[in-house]
Amino acid sequence: MTLRTARLGALTAALLLAVAACGSSGDGEETASGGKPLTEVSVALGWTPNTDYTGLYVADRLGYLKAEGVKLKIIPYASTAPETLVERGTADFGYSYQAGVAYARAGGHDVVGVFAPDQKGTYVIGVRADRADIASPKDLDGKTYAGFGTPDEVPELKHVIKRDGGTGTFKNVSLNTAAYDAVYGGKADFTISVSTWEVIQARLVGKPMKTFKLTDYGFPDQYSTLLASSRKYLNGNGPRAKGFLSAVQKGYLYAADHPKEAARILIDANKTAFPNPQLVYQSQQALVDGGYLKDADGKVGYQSAALWTAYGDFLFANGLLVDGTGKKLTARPDWSTYYTNEYLPKAAS
């Protein structure tokens, strides 16, 4: 699952080959219903196929993209971050996350959030369910955190632990995807997990976790998944971007209203990626049941000034945003320049 692009480890060669095999529109047709040639739009994944991307696959399979004149090209995750691919123009769009977009823009890179698949964060602190000595975040003092090496992790965890009455002192070991095995194996005490993927996966393999939601302890909510593009691409391809995002929005709305059918589309498009399809079905249902896919008004994909401001201010206040020379930003950014809803269909008032 996308647990922040910069946190991801290397893929196995077999899985890379499997993902690459399903890296483009499956119907192979080159014209829209009106006979006009389809225009290719490329999307870089931030990790292996998972339910972060269900709406994209749905939009392709159900013809929403084709109706907008778009032929989808999926760029599988490899060693180059989607934000980099987007800025270089190698990808038209890429799956990122709020901090990833913020780091890129603060550093002077041409990356902007354009669509929020999830309307709230999916990150939780995870510990083994049998750890009776860890009843709440304050009990993590003095314990070992298995992390992923991004700058926001430690300040985030310190904030939560202190708000629960602890000191926020713990050992930090960066293990990337091995973090989960370290916690399961008792070599580390806690990690940050995605509630709609790793937590479900752990339960399915008989290693259940207990979790603590960051927002339950005063931490600002965040977009744990964002679709990003570049201003250069958007400015030069406005109508195409609007058509693409309109179709993607329909795909995620379908996934919200038809989770079982949408999960099946994701599985069928990535036949070798999911040894246990129940993970996909349960994850998609969890996204629906948890209210992740729609905002309070039932809308899909729109980003909120409130989320960008609260979480962005956390990143800035903790000195986590640096410019292109590596110096910490001294002036609070204008968060409205870090994202846009301009290319989504106008929301009904």
**What's the CATH number where 97 sits?**
3.40.190.10
272 & 139 share domain: no
Average of pLDDT values for 105-129?
A: 97
Residue 275 CA to residue 49 CA, distance in Å, equals: 12
Domain ends where: 165, 186, 217?
217
- Name the pLDDT band for 303 (thresholds 50, 70, 90): very high
Residue 159 CA to residue 141 CA, distance in Å, equals: 12
Q: What confidence score (pLDDT) does residue 22 get?
A: 39
113 & 128 share domain: no
What confidence tens digit (pLDDT) does each residue in 29-61 have?
A: 466 666 678 999 999 999 999 999 999 999 999
55 & 106 share domain: yes
Which of 121, 119, 45 shows the shortest CA–CA distance to 300? Answer: 119
Residue 85 CA to residue 90 CA, distance in Å, equals: 5
Q: What confidence score (pLDDT) does residue 305 get?
A: 98
pLDDT over 60 at 11, yes or no: no
Average of pLDDT values for 261-267?
A: 98
What confidence tens digit (pLDDT) does each residue in 236-262 have?
A: 999 999 999 999 999 999 999 999 999
191 & 286 share domain: no
Output 72 or 349, whichever has higher pLDDT. 72
Q: What share of the chain has pLDDT > 70, as a percent? A: 89
251 & 316 share domain: yes
Domain ends where: 166, 198, 217?
217
Three-state DSSP at 84 gives helix
Decide if 240 is inside a domain.
Answer: yes
pLDDT over 80 at 318, yes or no: yes
Decide if 344 is inside a domain.
Answer: no
- Name the pLDDT band for 176 (thresholds 50, 70, 90): confident
91 & 148 share domain: no
Residue 118 CA to residue 106 CA, distance in Å, equals: 23
What confidence tens digit (pLDDT) does each residue in 189-222 have?
A: 999 999 999 999 999 999 999 999 999 999 999 9
Decide if 235 is inside a domain.
Answer: yes
232 & 304 share domain: yes
114 & 150 share domain: no
Average of pLDDT values for 268-273?
A: 95
Decide if 154 is inside a domain.
Answer: yes
205 & 274 share domain: no
Q: What confidence score (pLDDT) does residue 34 get?
A: 62
Q: What confidence score (pLDDT) does residue 14 get?
A: 30
Q: What confidence score (pLDDT) does residue 2 get?
A: 45
Is the model's pTM score more than 0.85?
A: yes
Domain ends where: 168, 183, 217?
217
- Name the pLDDT band for 87 (thresholds 50, 70, 90): very high
pLDDT over 50 at 27, yes or no: no
Domain that holds residue 295: 5-119+224-337
Number of domains the chain contains: 2
pLDDT over 50 at 18, yes or no: no
